[in-house]
Amino acid sequence: MQTESALSSPLARLAAFERALLALPMLAGMFFGLFPLLLPQTFANVAQFPAEGLYVYQLAGAATVGYGVGLLFGILQQSWRAVRLVVIGVLVNNLASLYACGAELVSGHAPTSVYLFLVTNLLFVAICALLLTRHAGVPHPAPDVTSLAVKGFLVVGAVDAGVFGVLPLFVPQLFTLFNLHINAPFVIREAGAGSLGYAVVAVLAQRALNRVELPLIIVMAAVFNGVGGLVSLPYLLTGDVALLPWIIAPVGLIVCVVCLIGLRQVMGSKQQESATAP
């Protein structure tokens, strides 16, 4: 049982220095998300990657910016419980990114930018591990979401994000099947690393199912899928990439709408409970 003292414990809130620490991956998520998303060719040139297959750069940016948005709202809320799953997602993303860095370094063709990714990954893994350790004793909120739609969304999201996480991460050459002329397996693996973090969060959320932790991860999923769907639309007209945009565009936009509906349900029931509380 969650006691009132445990729920009001100082560790249930983010300390000022913890919010400052989370600001680092938040800013990195916004920068490394928006840069390849909006200026993929410039990003490729600056990062010393091939300026081809720019669609993958944009998909990687869409995944990354979702983490930045989730952390931003988490920092503003100042609640550890609200940001816990987001931090776990960031941890998984950066651990998978470490694998992408290692694979690129072993290949012997890693540009200088990969070393920058490596350093930031190590820093963010340390930050996430520190926060998870410090707040390990904070009780999790009791499940209070019974919506079958939300539960179904989490299951579908876990499978979808898992497939688009594991395959690009470990079998990046599969992207060539979609008529993608890209010789940058590191970028493909980074896109997979971002998606894998969402998959793990969706799995954990199926056990959490509470109105404290769900809102931020639903916002993250809405940003990731909505932005990914939007950047896919131009490729439907050009035909430069076969099949993949035709999957991601409709699925991403539909999932974004479902996320917004689910968020409204979760937040609506939360507000209703607050209004009826004595």
| pLDDT, tens digit (0-9, with 9 covering 90-100), for 25-60 | 999 999 999 999 999 999 999 999 988 888 889 999
Within a domain: 276: no
Closest CA to 67 of 47, 45, 97, 42: 97
Tokens of 111: 């540009």
Residue 239 has pLDDT above 90, yes or no: no
Averaged over 166-186, what is the pLDDT? Answer: 80
Q: What is the mean pLDDT of the chain?
A: 88
154 assigned to some structural domain: yes
Locate all alpha helices (DSSP H) within 108-213, ordered by sequence: 112-134, 148-170, 185-208
In a domain, 127, yes or no: yes
Asked whether residue 92 carries a pLDDT value surpassing 90, the answer given is yes
pLDDT tens-digit profile of 16-31? 999 999 999 999 999 9
Q: Which of 265, 160, 147, 142 lies closest to 215, judged by CA?
A: 265
- Return all residues near 205 (Cβ < 8 A) that are at least 6 apart: 85, 154, 213, 214, 217
pLDDT in tens, 70-89: 999 999 988 999 999 999 99
Residue 271 confidence (pLDDT):
52
Q: Does 275 map to a domain? A: no
For residue 130, being part of any structural domain is answered with yes
Q: Classify residue 102: in a domain, yes or no.
A: yes
pLDDT for 277: 45
Tens-digit pLDDT profile for residues 202-235: 999 988 888 899 999 999 999 999 999 999 999 8
Residue 254 placed within a domain: yes
The contacts of residue 70 (CB under 8 Å, 6+ apart) are 83, 86, 89, 216, 217, 219, 220, 223
The tally of domains found in the chain comes to: 1
- Section 236-257 average pLDDT: 87
Range of the domain at 50: 4-268
Burial 11-41 (b: 16+ CB within 10 A, else e): eebbeeebbebbeebbebbbebbbbbbebbe
CB of 201 closer than 8 Å to CB of 165 = no
pLDDT of residue 4: 41
- Whether residue 161 lies inside any domain: the answer is yes
CB-based contact 94:125 (threshold 8 Å): yes
Q: Which residue, 140, 154, 146, is CA-closest to 265?
A: 146
